[in-house]
């Protein structure tokens, strides 16, 4: 009966039970500061570029099983200029690959590098 009364006294039940998952939550909140409704595909794309800096857009699409259209939409969101001339998040830089003009290379922007630094700080607390 005492346990039941305790649960009734604290209906929110906000006790931390997994500190590692809380760290991941903090990382996710960093992205939500940039865009409250950021899709998981965009997060995956950013983390792929962060872990494979200076990669080809086609490598992202192949690894994450995106269509070319999804790859473009996600990388545009992360670039300086999103679709329909809206500002993007400016976390990556898209450039034409000089060795093959049909390919694009993706690398972290200074803002993207700063975000990765924050993420690493959260994960290593």
- For residue 92, the SS3 value is strand
What are the domain boundaries of the chain? 20-123
Q: Which two tokens stand for residue 56?
A: 């080809």
Contact 112, 92 (CB under 8 A): yes
The Cα–Cα gap between 74 and 82 comes to 9
Q: Is a pLDDT exceeding 90 seen at residue 4? A: no
Q: What's the pLDDT at 8?
A: 59
According to the per-residue pLDDT averaged within each range, which of 19-23, 33-37, 89-93 is highest?
89-93
CATH class for the region spanning 20-123: mainly alpha
Q: Which of 72, 84, 73, 81 lies closest to 38 in space, CA to CA?
A: 73
């Amino acid at each position: 009966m005492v346990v039941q009364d305790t649960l009734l006294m604290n209906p929110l039940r906000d006790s931390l039970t997994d500190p590692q998952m809380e760290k991941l939550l903090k990382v996710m909140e960093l992205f939500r500061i940039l865009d409250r409704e950021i899709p998981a595909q965009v997060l995956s794309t950013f983390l792929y570029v962060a872990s494979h800096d200076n990669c080809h857009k086609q490598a992202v699409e192949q690894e994450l099983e995106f269509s070319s259209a999804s790859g473009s939409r996600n990388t545009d969101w992360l670039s300086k200029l999103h679709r329909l001339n809206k500002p993007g998040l400016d976390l990556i830089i898209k450039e034409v690959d000089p060795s093959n003009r049909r390919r694009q290379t993706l690398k972290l922007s200074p803002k993207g590098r700063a975000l990765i630094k924050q993420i690493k700080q959260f994960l290593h607390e």
